Chain A
């Protein structure tokens, strides 16, 4: 070190020493990224631990909060022997069937409606107010009307769920359609595409990522509506199972049912994300 070297900043530590954020401090290595996943896992574990402890110490009566062990036992028992005349598999199958039938109906109606909203002014004029009217109404409010109109059969249950799914599917489709780039449509037209061909070969595929997002939101809405749909004259289904259990204060079945729905919804979400990746690998890479 030369005598004059005091004017030179010791590069390695200058930043810390004089406490200034100075340009001569070396760029620090990026902190190793903390990923969200382990944190989520920890949160879940902590929740489970709190649940176990409070049940163990009997902080609250089991009627209010059964222990995790009791819920697990119930799961095994109901899976084997059933609850209110149906096994767990049958309850799950009934609910899944309703949700998926509703989803198909919602796609069948919602995608064309969304296309109409996105493509034509007339379509927007007709369907936009209808959807905006329908969207905020809670399913429990229109449930009685549907029962009056269509009876208490299976179609009514599917319809209640489908109505809840309609707005997210249609509105996401419309948003996707409106987001299609002008140049892409012009390119297709200059390559000889008719109006119909533009819709089929350009608008629909361009809107597909948005449509799939709509389906994901719709499935969420569907599960939230399931319990309401199974309020009326159901003999099977997860929502029905939960309500019957609640009436007899069989709280462990209630909690078990909730967890089963959560698990299924989580699994479906995962599957849809997989489908998205396979079907629209270009999303976000343009």
Chain B
């Protein structure tokens, strides 16, 4: 099974006095759902971009299946903080974008796009223009577009950040469903403590100055949902509340340091 690995990665942007991230190691296996949390500016996006191949580490290595990551590729599809959809295309064409790049015939890619739209519960939105969609729908189109690349890993940068609380909760289960169905490894950034707990198999807590890992939690709530337990029951579990307290402590500990 291929792993996406960051090994003691340091990110230092040109012209900056100090590195943004220093010696961070991460490992995402294919069935993992790794969530990065930490306050604004601690380098979450930077790490995700290193994994995506969009930012080159100053030191350390980023590898996928043992091969060094040198450029972005469809094996690591990214969903950005702002959905970054293409407004000149319909929802279906957005989803089919990567297939079009590969020269897949129009009818086949439309069919595949419709399947993916169905997977993210947007069955009837294929012909809609991007600006006709709500924020939650746009994020789902973004997810479907990333899945169309049949990636081994999904890199998600606060994919639910712009959504209202209710939509957000619904999208969390959608994410878990996709993760189970698509058999991918996920590396995701979020600001939501509860969101991290609901989704993750592992939570990596980062702290700034320069960004570094303060703690790593192995969690299992996401797997419990995948195994069929209702999300409400999971959140009502005292173990969830305890984990939440631990995680909150770790984040604030990191801030105090």
A contact residues vs B (CB 8 Å cutoff): 181, 183-184, 186-194, 197, 201-202, 205-206, 208, 280-282, 285-286
Contact = CB atoms under 8 A, between A and B. Distances in A.
Interface residues of B, number: 31
30 contacts: A183-B80, A183-B82, A184-B84, A186-B49, A186-B52, A186-B54, A186-B80, A187-B78, A187-B80, A188-B97, A190-B53, A190-B73, A190-B74, A190-B77, A190-B78, A191-B77, A191-B98, A191-B149, A192-B101, A193-B101, A197-B101, A201-B86, A201-B97, A205-B86, A206-B88, A281-B129, A282-B130, A285-B87, A285-B131, A286-B131
Contact of B74 (A191, A201, A281, A285): A191
B73 to A, nearest CB: 7
Contacts of B80: 183, 186-187
Given A186-B78, A201-B101, A282-B129, A191 B86 contact: no
Contacts of A282: 87-88, 129-131
B92 interface: no
Contacts of A181: 82, 84
A191 B101 contact: yes
Contacts of B73: 190, 192
B89 to A, nearest CB: 8
A197 B100 CA distance: 10
Given A186-B49, A187-B78, A191-B98, 7 more contacts: A184-B86, A190-B54, A190-B73, A191-B145, A191-B149, A197-B101, A201-B97
B84 to A, nearest CB: 4
Interface of B: 49, 52-54, 71-74, 76-78, 80-82, 84, 86-88, 97-98, 100-102, 129-131, 145-146, 148-149, 155
A193 B71 CA distance: 11
Closest 7 CB pairs of A and B: A282-B87, A192-B74, A191-B98, A187-B84, A183-B84, A190-B72, A190-B78
Contacts of A192: 73-74, 98, 101-102, 149
A280 B145 CA distance: 22
B202 to A, nearest CB: 23
Contacts of A184: 84, 86
